[in-house]
Structure 1
Amino acid sequence: MDAPLRLFRGGPIDYVTMDYLAEVTMSIMQRQKLRNPERGYATDFVQFVDEVLPDLKKRGVRIIANAGGVNTEACRAAIMESARRQNVSGLRVATVSGDDILDRLDQFRDSGVRLAHMETGEGLFDADRKILAANVYMPTDGMVRALDEGADIVITGRCTDPGLVLAPVLHEFKLDGWDGIALGTVAGHILECGAQSTGGNFTRWWEVPDMAGIGYPIAEVSDEGGLVITKHEGTGGMVTVETVAEQLLYEMGRPDHYITPDCIVDFTSIKIAQDGVDRVRVSSVKGSMPTETLKVSISYLAGYKATGQLVVSGPDALAKARLCAQVVWDRLAMSGCHFDDTHEECLGVGVVHEGIVPPAENAPEVVLRLGVKDVDRAKVDRFGKEIAPLVTSGPPGVTGFAGGRPKAQEIVAYWPALIDRKLVRSEVSVVEVGS
């Protein structure tokens, strides 16, 4: 919560962009909306806006966020109410929608749109699935239109992370050609993970100063197509060629063919150079025409899961942990419980780098973590009842049972697909407080 406030108040800035949506988030928000029609968006965003509203118009800062989730109108209503409560007038709040296609899936199925899985090729409708959410990664055109119409705050549903930054770049400079769009996209790609480009998650982490007060990245873009990555003075972290380069590699995929709804970027063309303390210049970005399809993020119910863990300590801790696991599997089998999938790991002996480093056979304690997955919730619940008894009916040195009995949880699976971009379009609505 403090990071965006520090960014807003820490120095000169024109736009604050905020990303709230992971792949699974949309299904969570759909369920929130089903329970309460006034929910289904990121309430944390409303809290942030509530904090900065008195200074927003005064400082001329504009905010762009995909906090609308699956209910952009309700998110806007909450912000408008906050503005009225604080007597803020003249505030223009835009919603950009069109990404949510959940209610159109029957129409797509009947018209022969397969929404094939991008890895397996299986059609979404080839089997009966309980689909929870379906959202298209939309181009930035809707956000740009909202800014062109004078919006101070732009609330979107699903869009690309770089698009949140590309939109104000295109609004401000009207850059011509694919290279200009690619430049704004790269700026967004560098900023999209927050402090990851200013020292967070940096491989040389011991060199990063004041990580507790780490500053978030800022993109300085000029009308000549220049791009510099920096941060507010006096904040922690650092902006170097190395920190920026590591972020460029994040989720890149094919380096010469980074696909977005707005363009395709050739990352092999990019040049980066130090341009002063905590300043890195990015140049020579090349782009080309985008694809005719857009990516769709679909989530569906795929059964149930449960995980449980115990701490096993003392001599032969690893051997005792493995025995505990076998006892659980044997007891479940004796009761007729066989699962679609099971998982077993001993944390503390090198499991994260299994196959790369040898296990620490003599570890003084390990954390045994067990998990199951199945379409039958009753069997998953039964698994949860077998963890605690090991404290007294397993080998010695078993402890750490906390948090209660493992409970069955729904598995929300991810289905990536492509859709013809002609089948969707952005809808923009701008409303002013008091209108």
Structure 2
Amino acid sequence: MEKILPTIVEKNIKIVTNGGGVNPIACRDAIFRIAQKLGIKGLRIGVVYGDDILDKIDDFIKMGVDFKNMDTGEPIEKIRERITSANVYFGAFPVAQALKQGAQIVITGRVTDTGITLAPMIYEFGWSETDYDKLAAGIVAGHILECGAQATGGNFSYDWRSVPDMAHIGFPIAEAYPNGEIIITKHENTGGLVTIQTVTEQLVYEIGDPTNYITPEVIADFTTIKLEQIGKDRVRVYGVKGRPPTQFYKVSMSYFDGYMAVGTLTYSWPDALEKAKKADEIIRTRLKDLGLEFEEIHTEFLGYNSCHGPLAHKIDEPNEVVLRIAVRGKNFEDVDRFGREVPALILTGPPGVTGFGGGRPHPSEVIAYWPTLIPKELVKPEIIVEEI
């Protein structure tokens, strides 16, 4: 920010970011300090917060919110005493309100990635909460932008070899219009490309039901999206349909779920796979003999089938195979003891082993994810705009 803030102020560029994390107020204060250091006056920064409901969970439960897991249906009681964070996903409208109040920079806590793209459109074009098709178009634009260069040729399965100058790949830009049409492009003289194929690959990324892309503002129907190549590195996005949103906000909770550790050893030709499998058998036997308790022991053979599993094509004789074995459990001491068993395999297991230069595995905490819902009327975003 210290590098770009003078240009932002000089050219009146507005910035919207959900990079405030767990403390967007502190993030704002840090930018104010940079502005003071640079002698910048009159900078207005908005903050959208109120998403943190960790201290209010019990109150909401008493009000009848069940906070059940959206994916599994499990009750919140299963993890209640282990919850470490709980944040509501707010949408675009409070961000647009901060822009309306004169903020040049808007920092948020938990706001949807699509919302920070939609918000400037709401602000600029005056879209209302019932302009569902236009809101859906802005959401689609946000979805295209949210993974950066994945829309401009990064991670491109269709024809990755055709992507020019990937070392200097450009990031996508959404040109928005009042009627809801969007043009996806990128800066000239940057690498990558913008085609129907690159945009399509990003569109199908993490969407679930394409007819039911739920956001705080609108439900977008991705099956209505139309794409048209209108020039080099320019794709028109249009025809998007939307319908009214649900009465709920999504809540992202995290909770402590024990410990894990991961160890790797590399076995060389000849018989690399056979050696790695034998080493896996040996360490599992030793862990069992020690009476160690784990919720899961997971083994992969990198270079053989770690990516495709049973669908991997057969390899007669790999040059090398990396044994990757991981354990997860509630007991720190058991997970820690696993870490001492991995290096022991070097001299008490199959021959031809290498690749153990980083020390033994050490336990790390497992922080798990609990997606849930809360009625919108129970939590409201807070907006403040202040000037240095």
TM-score greater than 0.5 by the shorter chain = yes
Return the alpha-carbon distance in structure 2 between the equivalents of residues 415 and 127 of structure 1. Answer: 9
Return the alpha-carbon distance in structure 1 between the equivalents of residues 228 and 312 of structure 2. Answer: 36
TM-score (norm 1): 0.87
Confirm whether residue 252 of structure 1 aligns to residue 207 of structure 2: yes
Residue 392 of structure 1: aligned partner: 347
Q: Give the match's secondary structure for 1:275.
A: strand
Residue 92 of structure 2: aligned partner: 140
Task: Give CA deviations for 1:154-187 in whole Å, capped at 9, x if unaligned.
Answer: 0000111110100001000012510111111111
Residue 62 of structure 2: aligned partner: 110
Residue 20 of structure 2: aligned partner: 68
**Unaligned 5+ runs, structure 2:** none
Return the alpha-carbon distance in structure 2 between the equivalents of residues 360 and 133 of structure 1. Answer: 45
Residue 241 of structure 1: aligned partner: 196
Residue 191 of structure 1: aligned partner: 145
Residue 13 of structure 1: aligned partner: none
Query: Is this contact kept in 2: 1:97–1:156, CA < 8 A?
Result: yes
Shift of the 117–367 alpha-carbon distance from structure 1 to 2, 3 Å rule, reads same
Question: Which residues in structure 2 correspond to 1:368-383 (within 5 Å)?
Answer: 368-383=323-338
Alpha-carbon distance, 1:254 to partner: 0.8
Paired amino acid for 1:59: K
Percent pairwise identity: 50
Alpha-carbon distance, 1:378 to partner: 0.4
Query: Is this contact kept in 2: 1:272–1:282, CA < 8 A?
Result: yes
Question: Which residues in structure 2 correspond to 1:239-388 (within 5 Å)?
Answer: 239-388=194-343
Confirm whether residue 174 of structure 1 aligns to residue 126 of structure 2: yes
Q: Give the match's secondary structure for 1:385.
A: helix
**Unaligned 5+ runs, structure 1:** 1-48
TM-score (norm 2): 0.97
Question: Which residues in structure 2 correspond to 1:152-171 (within 5 Å)?
Answer: 152-171=104-123
Task: Give CA deviations for 1:160-218 in whole Å, capped at 9, x if unaligned.
Answer: 11101000010000125101111111111111100000000111110000001100000
Return the alpha-carbon distance in structure 2 between the equivalents of residues 398 and 92 of structure 1. Answer: 59
Alpha-carbon distance, 1:128 to partner: 4.6
Query: Is this contact kept in 2: 1:340–1:374, CA < 8 A?
Result: yes
Q: Give the match's secondary structure for 2:77.
A: helix
Query: Is this contact kept in 1: 2:79–2:255, CA < 8 A?
Result: no
**How many residue pairs get matched?**
385
Return the alpha-carbon distance in structure 2 between the equivalents of residues 127 and 94 of structure 1. Answer: 35
Residue 205 of structure 1: aligned partner: 160
RMSD over aligned CA atoms reads 1.1
Return the alpha-carbon distance in structure 2 between the equivalents of residues 298 and 101 of structure 1. Answer: 10
Query: Is this contact kept in 1: 2:143–2:203, CA < 8 A?
Result: yes
Alpha-carbon distance, 1:367 to partner: 0.3
Return the alpha-carbon distance in structure 1 between the equivalents of residues 109 and 358 of structure 2. Answer: 35
Alpha-carbon distance, 1:361 to partner: 4.1
Q: Give the match's secondary structure for 2:278.
A: helix
Confirm whether residue 410 of structure 1 aligns to residue 365 of structure 2: yes
